[in-house]
Amino acid sequence: MPVLKLTKHHGLGNDFLVLLDPDGSTPVSADLARAVCDRHLGVGADGLIRARVGPAPADLTFELRNADGGEAEMSGNGMRCMVQAAVDAGLVAGPRLTVATVTGLRAVSVEPESRPGLRQVKVDMGPAKVEDHPSGTLVDMGNPHVVILDQDCSCDLEALGREHPDLNVELISVRGVDRIDLRVWERGVGATLACGTGSCAAVAAAQRWGMVGPRVTVHNPGGDVVVESEGETMFLTGPTQFVARVEVVL
């Protein structure tokens, strides 16, 4: 009976299953992602990530399917989880490595464990492309976002998420030049406890509005990440926690 070996990790409650597939011999289908991510009938996660080695100059290749089985271009929390899994398994050495994504190469730095299973990981998230729109501020972080200012937290997140099924929706409250509160509805998942690309999109939009500076702590429902900008390029730093090793009978 074939068995799929995975590890589970989370970044501030945004949880992922990671498949280390060095030679790319185990493709991940939409059906498989839906099955293992199901929180009642499967293991449960916001997404399933496959990590392959190379190709040069990349150390790893990042591939993600959301809980609904759809492919996602990029995930900041998912990237950190994948890198933790690969470093912990000795697939790559760190502390600095390069990851290939469908949106281009991303530089990642990973710190030693601060306690068992916990690492801080910093990801070059690439450029934020910002565009004004009647629905809110559109931000392309390699994946699509709409950011809406919601200072009194009165907007209906679920309704807006369902209104924009092809976008990640961020509702933000700006609490100072270096602080943002964030609620997020992720495309293909729903409400999540954190979103890395969404945190970067939120900062890029708030910078467009002239409300925050170049270094911002973003408070997600699951905790805090730090987003720093250099020109259009965004950098995301946050914790990644190992949860469990999992064997799934196929």
The domain segmentation of the chain, as residue ranges, is 3-124+238-249, 126-237
Amino acid found at 194: A
- Can you tell me the mean pLDDT for 79-95? 96
For residues 22 and 223, give the distance between their C-alpha atoms in angstroms, rounded to a whole number: 32
What pLDDT, on the 0 to 100 scale, is given for residue 2? 83
Topology (CATH) of 126-237: Diaminopimelate Epimerase; Chain A, domain 1 (3.10.310)
- Can you tell me the mean pLDDT for 72-82? 97
- Can you tell me the mean pLDDT for 29-35? 97
Model pLDDT for residues 210-219, shown as the tens digit of each residue:
999 999 999 9
What pLDDT, on the 0 to 100 scale, is given for residue 66? 97
Rg (CA), the chain: 17
pTM: 0.95
Are 114 and 105 within 8 A, CB to CB? no
Average pLDDT of the chain is: 96
pLDDT at 86 over 90: yes
Residues 6+ apart with CB under 8 A from 210: none
Topology (CATH) of 3-124+238-249: Diaminopimelate Epimerase; Chain A, domain 1 (3.10.310)
Establish whether domains 3-124+238-249 and 126-237 are of one fold: yes
Model pLDDT for residues 91-135, shown as the tens digit of each residue:
999 899 999 999 999 999 999 999 999 999 999 999 999 999 888
For residues 199 and 76, give the distance between their C-alpha atoms in angstroms, rounded to a whole number: 9
What pLDDT, on the 0 to 100 scale, is given for residue 134? 87
